[in-house]
Each structure stands twice: as C-alpha cells, then as structure tokens.
A and B are shown apart, each in its own frame.
Chain A
Amino acid sequence: DTAVSQTPKYLVTQMGNDKSIKCEQNLGHDTMYWYKQDSKKFLKIMFSYNNKELIINETVPNRFSPKSPDKAHLNLHINSLELGDSAVYFCASSPTGGGRYEQYFGPGTRLTVT
C-alpha cells in the first residue's frame, strides 16, 4: 500500500564508511528524486532521474552516486562519509507530463555520521 518507501529509516555510521539508501515507488511515476533536509529543515534537491536517466545533478560532492536500476527504484550510495553528511534524506517521485509537478515523498532516512 505504501507509495514511496525507503530503507533504512535510520542509519548510524562512522566517518569514512560507505553506505547505501534504497528507494522504491509503486505509483507508476517516471521521475524520482533525492532531497537532503538539513538540521534547519531546509529541503534541497540533490538528483533527479527520469526513466532511469539522470536529468538533474545539483552541486553535490561526487562521493554521492545515485543509481536507478529501473524506473521504480532509485538508490543513493555515499562513499567516504563525512560528519557534514548527517541529515535526513528523502526520496520522492512525480508523474511526468500532463502539466503536473507535484511530488510524493518517502518517509526519509535519518543518517547520522559519528
């Protein structure tokens, strides 16, 4: 029944480690996103994929690498984690075309780097 799901919900890890966050949507949307929400609750786009192709790549360190195995999944891999990567990461999806731009968000993954 869940529209956009993410795993894990919480992730605590040490600096220097590599970790992945997974996202799946069952809404049939073509476009998926990763957002980062910092401690001040500001939501900022990181990446956007449309039909498995990268269409937006904001100024994000290349330690972050998104991968979309199919249009229902968008994973985020982070290498060499740093303290400043601690944040909540949200996956979202949206329909394409039809003049619609609303996005549907997952529950978030709270990443803490120690």
Chain B
Amino acid sequence: QKEVEQDPGPLSVPEGAIVSLNCTYSNSAFQYFMWYRQYSRKGPELLMYTYSSGNKEDGRFTAQVDKSSKYISLFIRDSQPSDSATYLCAKPPTGANNLFFGTGTRLTVIP
C-alpha cells in the first residue's frame, strides 16, 4: 500500500467555486502533511504544512486533517484561474527525511 494516495482527477471548476482536494494516508505513526502546488513545467512549490488534526488556514487555502479516517484535504475558496495547477499531497515516512508524494490532482479553474 502506498504511503499516500490521491485522486488524480483531472478536476475542472468554474471561477469562484470552492475546490476540495483529497488524499488518504496509510501510516499513522508520523503525522506531518504537506500540500504542494506545481504549475506546468515548474518545480513543486510548498503551499502549506500541518501536523495536527483540524484546520489550518492561509488566505483562500485551508488544510484539514482527519486522523480518525486518515484523510487530508485542501480546500480552495473563491478559486481563480491562477489556481490552475497540479496539487500534490506529501508526507514523510516515520523519522526519515524524504517525502512520499501522492500522484497529484490536476485542477483547472475556468474563467
């Protein structure tokens, strides 16, 4: 079983919509999660990280962790065409310094 699994999409939404991106994880021993955004032909860019249950907000972005169901989510409010990108969830394995990435969800926000 993969460390993190992510619905690859693609996902298309109209401008202004609320977007929900989701991942599940298998290893509960180490609770630290990250969301990256990757524009076409660019490197992944760290959006948010969280290591606790509940919500963490940063502007229009909210990261949510549900430890009971091993579910992590990223919500984007008032989505903009500039949000069109691939979003990747990531998690380090226990104590190690590398990251396991989900397969990424490609999002398109239509003006």
Contacts and interface: CB of A to CB of B under 8 A. Distances in A.
Contacts of B41: 108, 110
B71 to A, nearest CB: 20
Contacts, number: 55
A107 B99 contact: no
Nearest to A31: B97
Interface string A1-34: 0001000000000000000000000000001010
Contacts of B96: 56
A106 B88 CA distance: 16
Nearest to B103: A42
Given A41-B103, A101-B92, A50 B43 contact: no
Contact of B98 (A42, A56, A102, A106): A56
A50 B98 CA distance: 11
B101 A106 contact: no
Contacts of B44: 43, 90, 105
Interface in A31-54: 31, 33, 40-45, 48, 50
Contact of A101 (B45, B88, B99): B99
A105 B45 contact: yes
Contact of B49 (A43, A102, A110): A102
A48 B99 CA distance: 10
A19 B105 CA distance: 32
